[in-house]
Amino acid sequence: MARAVAQVLLAACRGKHGAAALVADPGREARAEFLAELAEEPRWRALAFEDHKVALGPLMDGRKGAPKRHDADEVAVIGMLALGPH
């Protein structure tokens, strides 16, 4: 799936009008595959996710059954990657 998502993003960014994308990832195992696929585009060979702290308090979490709110002070570290025209 990671390679397929990367291919779609590459196609959109290479399109006639170009595109931009912000990719967020909590550190999934397929991140290396995703970056390897993006490296097919010469200008993105050295891409890396940058870690950012994200407040989870206002977000809903539905991964474990019924959605629930996070604690107000709960944070997560999420890798962010910006793609598109520079």
**Are 75 and 56 a contacting pair, CB within 8 Å?**
yes
What pLDDT shows up at residue 48?
85
Range of the domain at 8: 2-83
The DSSP-derived string for 15-55 is STT---EEEEES--TTHHHHHHHHTTSGGGTT---EEEEEE
Give the number of domains in the chain. Answer: 1
Please give the model's pTM, rounded to 2 decimal places: 0.69
pLDDT attached to residue 71: 80
Question: Going residue by residue through the chain (86 aa), what tens digit of pLDDT does each one get?
Answer: 999 999 998 888 877 777 778 888 888 899 999 999 988 888 777 788 899 998 887 777 776 666 777 787 888 888 988 876 65
Q: How many CA atoms lie within 13 A of 2 on its CB side?
A: 14
